[in-house]
Amino acid sequence: MSDFIEPEQEEESWAIRPNKSQIKRDIAVISDLCEEITQLAPAQIERLGLPENILIAIIEATKMPAKGARKRQLKFITGAMRKIDVESIQQQLDKIKAKSAHATRELHQLERWRERLLADDKQALTEFLMQNPGADAQHMRQLIRNAKKEIAAEKAPKSSRILFRYLRELLENGAEQSEY
């Protein structure tokens, strides 16, 4: 007799619809993600692993000026992105941004070294050679001397650029050796 449910005990079920505000917030997040992707270089966009139709639409959007057509294109891309998993794309984008920030830090570090070497070559050179034992001291002294002469003669900073490239090579080689 317990198989029968009395009318007073029936449960009412309601259809649960998604929260509109949450849907709008999700769309805004995807839209911001699409805008960030369009700011990347084409090679970086291709590394994200996007579906072909979205990839083509994003590359088209990067070429458009920031007017109505670009906004419509971004809305189209946002709609297409809602149908795929954007978490993996967000992770890839975060990796790209982290690499970019790291590269910027390295460039600033190299610029500071070059400025120190040109300003106070003896103390800074000794310190740099202690940190980078694979560096050619004689070559660095020559580059520093030539760069100082160019600065004094108000010539193009050719030796300064060569010094910068040499420092970058040394730091890149040092980073590769420390990984092994």
pLDDT in tens, 1-17: 555 555 555 666 676 87
Identify the CATH class of 20-91. Answer: mainly alpha
Give the pLDDT of residue 72: 92
Give the pLDDT of residue 2: 53
Give the pLDDT of residue 76: 92
pLDDT surpasses 50 at 178: no
Lowest mean pLDDT among 16-30, 49-63, 96-110, 166-180: 166-180
Q: Over range 56-85, report the average pLDDT.
A: 89
Give the pLDDT of residue 12: 66
* Between 6 and 50, the higher pLDDT residue: 50
Q: Over range 112-138, report the average pLDDT.
A: 84
pLDDT surpasses 50 at 127: yes
Q: Over range 37-55, report the average pLDDT.
A: 86
CA distance from start to end of the chain: 76
State the Cα–Cα distance between residues 148 and 43, nearest whole angstrom. Answer: 39
CATH 1.10.60.30 fits 100-174, yes or no: yes
**Residues 74 and 31: beta-carbon distance below 8 Å:** yes
Q: Over range 61-81, report the average pLDDT.
A: 89
Are domains 20-91 and 100-174 of this chain identical in fold?
Answer: yes
pLDDT surpasses 50 at 48: yes
pLDDT surpasses 50 at 31: yes
Give the pLDDT of residue 174: 65
pLDDT tier, 75 (very low <50, low <70, confident <90, very high otherwise): very high
The domain locations on the chain are 20-91, 100-174
* Between 5 and 50, the higher pLDDT residue: 50
- Can you spell out the DSSP letters for the chain? -TTSPPGGGPPP----PPPHHHHHHHHHHHHHHHHHHHTS-HHHHHTT---HHHHHHHHHHHHS-SSHHHHHHHHHHHHHHTTS--HHHHHHHHHHHHHHHHHHHHHHHHHHHHHHHHHSHHHHHHHHHHH-TTS-HHHHHHHHHHHHHHHHTT---HHHHHHHHHHHHHHHHHHHHHH-
| Residue 138 identity | Q
